[in-house]
Amino acid sequence: MSDEIQDPTDFAVVGTDTGVGKTVVTAGLVGWLRESGVDARAVKPCQTGYPPDDDAGFVADACGDDAAATCLRRLEPALAPAVAAEQVDAALSYESILSGCRDAIAEAEVGVVEGIGGLRVPLANGREVVDLVADLDVPALVVARSGLGTINHTALTVETLRARGVTVAGIVCNEYAGETTAERTNPDVIAGMTGVSVETVPPLSLDEPGDAVAGVSDALSRSVFPTE
Binding annotation for Mg(2+): 23, 55, 114
Q: Cα dist. 40→193, 199, 228 in Å?
A: 32, 22, 15
pTM: 0.97
**For residue range 73-110, what is the model confidence (pLDDT) as tens digits?**
999 999 999 999 999 999 999 999 999 999 999 999 99
Residues with catalytic annotation?
Answer: 44
**84 membership: H or E segment, kind and range:** helix 81-87
Is residue 4 very low, low, confident or very high in pLDDT (cuts 50, 70, 90)? confident
Binding annotation: 19-24, 48, 55, 114-117, 174-175, 202-204
Is residue 3 very low, low, confident or very high in pLDDT (cuts 50, 70, 90)? low
**Domains assigned to the chain:** 11-223 (3.40.50.300)
The mean predicted confidence, pLDDT, of the chain is 97
If one counts every other C-beta atom within 10 angstroms of the C-beta of residue 48, the result is: 22
Please check whether residue 72 is in contact with residue 43, taking contact to mean a CB–CB distance below 8 angstroms. Answer: yes
